[in-house]
Amino acid sequence: MTLGYEWLALGAAACWALGSFTSAPASAHLGAIAFSRWRMLFASLLLGAAATLSSGWGSLTPSAVTILVASGLIGIFLGDSALFGCMNRLGPRRSGVLFATHSLFSAVLAWWWLDETFTGQVLLGALLLVGGVMLAILLGKRVDETHSWEQIRGSLAVGVALGVLSALCQAVATLMVKPLMGTGVDPVAASAVRMCAGLLAHGLLLWSGAKVARPLQPINRAVLLRTALNAALAMGLGMTLILAALRGGSAGLVAVLSSVTPVLLLPLLWLAYRRQPPLGAWLGAALTVAGGALILVR
């Protein structure tokens, strides 16, 4: 029995939620660019080995590689760097609500680019799901919350701009590969090419001597382990599940379903803060579940 694309997208969201929980301390330690570079290195090695063992490289053509490289540069090199730059400034909760807008960007671009539309029960479910995600994050902070992840560091405007940029990059990069994935390209090999493209761009940036590419602090064992775990979960497994979902599902719905990551983060943040999330966050989570059910049960 094979999983439907809906469950693959939800699986990717779960991987991203677990990855986000492990990434915040490591990203703050290394800085957004250095953290992205290290995790891309781990993910590239993991995915490259998996594609070799599964003989997935044979499914790629020169034109497919070109599209995947472009998608990797936009979605992984630029988009991920912007996301962690946003997280370092605004924290996981605020960066989560900004990144969740990628589902809206994806739905609009899929309608314009791929002629995809939502109707009836699916449209209602998508609206409830996205609205619930936004509500869960916006109302996810307690009035008396003082955790360091809730502090704003640096310019709020820059943080917001980076969050929106990361969401837009994710949407564009996903839609670029949607037609390609329907041709039978192996999702593991495709993910490996995207990852290697992002890693190469990061390597060139570091080689150029750009100050922004330097780590804020030297990497240590704890940060190395967190980064490796994040790479395996969020980039290795999560990104591959998204590409697998795109083989059979609409780009808009895959984006909508994978946007539940912030809601799945609620219990993890509960563990971090050691305080129960406020009622508004659970209300948003309930709307998200209701919307997801309408999409899945049809």
* Token pair for 270: 């509960």
pLDDT at 1: 35
What per-residue confidence (pLDDT) applies to 154? 64
Amino acid at site 192: A
Under the banding of pLDDT at 50, 70 and 90, the label for residue 123 is confident
**Residue 231, helix vs strand vs coil:** helix
- The structural domains of the chain, with segments of one domain joined by +, span 5-296
CB 122 within 8 A of CB 298: yes
For 122, 221, 261, 264, the CA distances from 16, given in Å and listed in that order, are 24, 22, 6, 9
Q: Which two tokens stand for residue 146?
A: 């003082």
Residue 75 is given by DSSP the state I
Q: Would you say residue 281 has pLDDT above 80? A: no
pLDDT at 145 over 60: no
What pTM does this model have? 0.80
C-alpha 194/C-alpha 198 separation (Å) is 6
Contacts of 288 by beta carbon, 8 Å cutoff, 6+ apart:
128, 129, 132, 133, 136, 260, 263
Mean pLDDT confidence for 267-287:
73
* pLDDT above 70 (res 182): yes
Mean pLDDT, all residues of the chain: 81
Which amino acid would we find at residue 6?
Answer: E
> For the chain, what's the residue count?
298
Say how far apart CA 5 and CA 55 lie, in whole Å.
23
| Average pLDDT score over residue span 218-241 | 88
Percent of the chain with pLDDT over 70: 88
What tokens does 296 get?
Answer: 């899945």
**Highest-pLDDT range among 9-13, 46-50, 207-211, 294-298:** 46-50
Percentage, residues of the chain above pLDDT 90: 15
User: pLDDT band at residue 41, thresholds of 50, 70 and 90?
Assistant: very high
CA distance 104 to 127: 10
Which pLDDT score is estimated for 193? 94
- List, in order, residues 6 or more apart from 265 with CB less than 8 Å away: 17, 20, 21, 92, 96
Amino acid occupying residue 284 = G
* Residue 2, pLDDT above cutoff 50: no
Cα–chain center distance at 50: 21
At 273, is the pLDDT very low, low, confident or very high (cuts 50, 70, 90)?
low
What number is the average pLDDT over the span 101-110?
Answer: 78
The pLDDT value recorded for residue 142 is 57
